[in-house]
Amino acid sequence: MNTTRTDIQKGRQAHTAVNVGRIERKASMIGGAALAITGLTKMKNMKFIPGVAMMAAGGMLLYRGKTGHCDMYEAMGVATAGTEDAGLVVEKVLTINRPPQQVYDFWHDFQNLPRFMQHLDMVQKTGNSTSHWKAKGPGDVTLEWDAEVIEDTPGERISWQSLENADIPNRGTVEFHEAPAGRGTELSVKMQYFPVGGAVGKMAAKVAHGINSRQVEEDLRRLKQILETGETPTACLVPECMTTH
């Protein structure tokens, strides 16, 4: 059903000068190891998504502690949005048994995106072509950014990108093609993230690579489920999903 192409594109030159103090380095290593291990444990329990995010964050801290170099510091004040040659690219296609115009209309209202993109808390319209996005980052951190639509062809294609000072610079393009013989819409999505530049960013992206791909896949599956059936299926058996007669 899905086909995927995910690439870590060539990042900027790795930069490894020491810019973190000794005590702070040690704290980073301990905290990083704990986060990474917790992340691994979560993965084992099949709670992949937060697990991998935690592993990535933990890995980044570990790296910082070990090398004395923090890309987060380096990245501060560096605007990576719009750079063509950095970041993580996830591409997916899937077929939704609904006409292209209907799928386009649903996506075009960005406020619908958190209904199927699990990491998004909310998207709010702030202008004709601008919106404000809030996402859940690793360990309850909220990541925010403003985005602007850079291309909008009704029923066919929407592109957007984050504006300056985004917590995670990103961009996306979604295309809606009519599928053959009344099979609905072939949706193709390309998302690009630019997680804190340089070597650590690349490493984190590598760790998170599988999951980001799956996350987008699961997001699109939810979109299909909502548009086709009006709900998302669940087999939930945790106490909140049960009762007593």
Partner 1 sequence: MKAVCWHGKHDVQVDNVPDPKVLNPRDAIVKVTLSAICGSDLHLYNGYIPTMKKGDILGHEFIGEVVEVGSGVKNVTRGDRVVVPFPIACGDCWYCQHELWSLCDNSNPNAWMMEEIYGDTGAGIFGYSHLYGGYAGGQAEYVRVPFADVGLEKIAPGLKDEQVLFLTDIFPTGYQAAEQCNIHQGDTVAVWGAGPVGLLAMKSAAHMGAAKIVAIDKNPERLEMAFNHCQAETLNFEEDDVVEALHSMTGGRGPDSCIDAVGMESEGIGMEAVYDTVKQTLRLESDRPIALRQAIKACRKGGTISIPGVYGGFVDKMPMGVVFAKGLTMKAGQTNVQKYLRPLMQMVEKNEIDPSFIITHRMSLDEAPQGYKMFAQKQDGCVKIVLNPQARSQATH
Among residue numbers 169 through 188, which ones bind partner 1 (CB under 8 A)? 183-184
Contacting range for partner 1; rule: CB under 8 A; set: 26-34, 103-111, 130-138, 222-230:
222-230
How many whole angstroms separate alpha carbon 58 and alpha carbon 5? 26
Residue where the block lists tokens 């209907």: 102
- Beta strand ranges found along 68-201 (DSSP E): 88-96, 120-125, 130-136, 142-153, 157-162, 170-178, 185-193
Q: In this chain, which of 85, 140, 180, 230 binds partner 1, going by CB under 8 A?
A: 230
Site size toward partner 1 (CB under 8 A) is 28
- Which residue's CB is nearer to partner 1, number 10 or number 183? 183
Q: How many residues does this entry show for the chain?
A: 245
- Check binding of 3 to partner 1 (CB under 8 A): no
> Taking the complex as a whole, how short is the minimal distance between the CB of residue 101 and partner 1, in angstroms?
18
Amino acid at 172: G
> Taking the complex as a whole, how short is the minimal distance between the CB of residue 173 and partner 1, in angstroms?
24
> Taking the complex as a whole, how short is the minimal distance between the CB of residue 232 and partner 1, in angstroms?
8
Q: Is residue 52 within 8 Å of 211, Cβ to Cβ?
A: yes
Q: In this chain, which of 16, 95, 102, 130 binds partner 1, going by CB under 8 A?
A: 95
Q: Is residue 120 within 8 Å of 132, Cβ to Cβ?
A: no
Beta strand 185-193 pairing with 120-125: unpaired
Contacting range for partner 1; rule: CB under 8 A; set: 26-34, 85-93, 100-108, 215-223:
215-223
Give the tokens for residue 77: 């004040």
Dihedral angle of Cα 211, 6, 231, 187, to the nearest 10 degrees: 170
- Which residue's CB is nearer to partner 1, number 17 or number 245? 245
Give the tokens for residue 107: 């996506």
Q: In this chain, which of 194, 204, 221, 223 binds partner 1, going by CB under 8 A?
A: 221
- Which residue's CB is nearer to partner 1, number 153 or number 229? 229
Binding site for partner 1 (CB under 8 A): 1-2, 95, 97, 183-184, 214, 217-218, 221, 224-225, 228-237, 239, 241-245
